Structure 1
Amino acid sequence: MSLFKRLRDVTMSNVHALIDKAEDPVKMTDQYIRDMQEDLEDAEKAVAAQIAIEKKFKLLYEEQEALFKRREEQAHTAVQMQNIDLARRALEEKKLVEAKMNEYKASYEANKASADNLRVKLEEMRKQLNEMRSKRDTLIARYNAAKAQAEINKSLAGFNTDTAAAGLKRMEEKMLQMEAQAEASNEMTSRGKSLDDEFANLHRDSGVEDELAALMKKYENNGNS
């Protein structure tokens, strides 16, 4: 990936479009933040290298500029001392130094312009990364809310009140049927008693009546005495 490619190719506007298409926008957002962080680190290294080049040419330019001024002053001094040969040599070297000085100055200005441009782009990357980080929680909250709403809507779509009511009615009818069957079973059990069972019950009933009559007679006798 070339330097600042993500900054050129992926703007904040289409980041949102990519997130909308993602199956998991949360993971997409986190991955994009990690990618941006990596790109930012690469960009910072590149900018640092460019600044180092800028400073190098600035130093070379300043050295030649200082030497240029010194040779010019020396030429003036030599002329004042009437040392024409020395003055000539100083001016000749001054001319050579001037050529180098202009060369270094041009290189310094070009590299400074490049470094300044990279500084601006780097600041844009930092701004976008900070913006993405600050919006992450909001994006995640909105995604979770939308996901929950979708689940609720899905559940509501599958919930049919008519079907539920019909099912409840069928359950009531089934219970009535079971109760009727139980009642009918009790009647059949009663009807199924044998003749011996009925006579046994009859004897049991007469025994109670006999005991009751004996008690009543006892208390009648006590009352007469």
Structure 2
Amino acid sequence: MGIFSRFADIVNSNISALLDKAEDPEKMVRLIIQEMEDTLVEVRSTSAKVLAEKKELQRRIERVTLQVQDWQDKAELALTKDREDLAKAALIEKQKAAANVSALNDELVVVDEQINRLREEVVQLQEKLTDAKARQKTIIMRKETASSRLAVKRKLNTGKIDDAMLKFEQYERRVEGLEAQVESYELGKKPASGTLADEFAALEAEDAINEELAALKARVKGKQPPTTK
């Protein structure tokens, strides 16, 4: 593939469309960037050759232009010496040199057009290259994120999460059963005896009740009429 045809393929391509069709966008971006960079190297080398060719053409044009003037001077000199034959021959050579200058100028126009086309296409390619490099990191990040999300989705779809939750619920029910057994044992037990302080408090309460009971008995007895003998 020639440089110019490859330029047309790259410059006219839609990078976004290429990436949409690519199976591996990250790899596609690397290939696009590499192709652009390789092409730029080739184009710079070609541009250097074309510029060198242009300079050589300009030197040839200068030399042949001097020849035109030289044959003109010789023709005039021949006429001053009454040598029309030599003057005519000089004018013929002058015409040949002038035609050569015209052809070289036409060639120079073609070279200039080629240089201008190279410059325009290099600018377009550089813009594409800058755009591709700017997107490269974003594409890599997007791929990594998508891959991570895909891995999570695949794990969720395997049912492992549902199985884990089911086991969790089973363990929870087993713990609740154990707790129920403990409560059933507690219901069948007598209240545990109190502390030493509780026992003394109970004795004091019992004494107070006995005293109150004795006082109540005395009051009741005092209200009864005496018995007759």
TM-score range, shorter chain: 0.5 to 0.7
The offset of 1:64, in angstroms, is 1.0
Query: Structure 1 CA distance, aligned partners of 2:11 and 2:98?
Result: 46
Q: Verify the 8 A CA contact 2:71 2:93 in the aligned structure 1.
A: yes
Give CA-to-partner distance per residue, 1:15-56, whole Å, 9 cap, x none.
323333444322321232112211221222223223333332
Query: Structure 1 CA distance, aligned partners of 2:11 and 2:140?
Result: 20
Bigger Rg, which one: 2
Identify the residue that residue 29 of structure 2 maps to in structure 1: 29
Q: Verify the 8 A CA contact 1:72 1:90 in the aligned structure 2.
A: yes
Q: Verify the 8 A CA contact 1:61 1:108 in the aligned structure 2.
A: no
Query: Structure 2 CA distance, aligned partners of 1:109 and 1:13?
Result: 29
Change (3 A) 1:177 1:104: same
Q: Which amino acid aligns with 2:27?
A: K
Q: Which amino acid aligns with 1:112?
A: D
Q: Could you tell which deviates more after superposition, 74-83 or 58-67?
A: 74-83
Q: Verify the 8 A CA contact 2:11 2:125 in the aligned structure 1.
A: no
Identify the residue that residue 8 of structure 1 maps to in structure 2: 8
Q: How high is the TM-score relative to the length of structure 1?
A: 0.62
Q: Verify the 8 A CA contact 2:11 2:121 in the aligned structure 1.
A: no
Identify the residue that residue 196 of structure 1 maps to in structure 2: none
Mind listing any 5+ residue stretches in structure 2 that lack a counterpart? 183-229
The offset of 1:94, in angstroms, is 0.8
Q: Is 2:130 aligned against 1:130? A: yes
Q: Which amino acid aligns with 1:98?
A: A
Query: Structure 2 CA distance, aligned partners of 1:167 and 1:139?
Result: 41
RMSD: 3.6
Identify the residue that residue 41 of structure 1 maps to in structure 2: 41
Q: Which amino acid aligns with 1:167?
A: K
Query: Structure 2 CA distance, aligned partners of 1:67 and 1:13?
Result: 50
The offset of 1:176, in angstroms, is 5.7
Change (3 A) 1:179 1:12: farther
The offset of 1:104, in angstroms, is 2.0
Identify the residue that residue 118 of structure 1 maps to in structure 2: 118
The offset of 1:153, in angstroms, is 4.6
Identify the residue that residue 172 of structure 1 maps to in structure 2: 172
Question: Matched residues, percent identical?
Answer: 26
Change (3 A) 1:145 1:3: same
- SS of 2:2's partner is coil
Counterparts of residues 1-225 of structure 1 (less than 5 Å): 1-11=1-11, 14-79=14-79, 84-155=84-155, 164-175=164-175
Change (3 A) 1:143 1:99: same
Q: Could you tell which deviates more after superposition, 21-30 or 7-16?
A: 7-16
Q: Verify the 8 A CA contact 1:61 1:101 in the aligned structure 2.
A: yes
Change (3 A) 1:3 1:23: same
Q: Verify the 8 A CA contact 2:10 2:36 in the aligned structure 1.
A: no
Change (3 A) 1:169 1:139: closer
Q: How high is the TM-score relative to the length of structure 2?
A: 0.61
Q: Could you tell which deviates more after superposition, 109-118 or 32-41?
A: 109-118
Change (3 A) 1:66 1:134: farther
The offset of 1:107, in angstroms, is 2.2
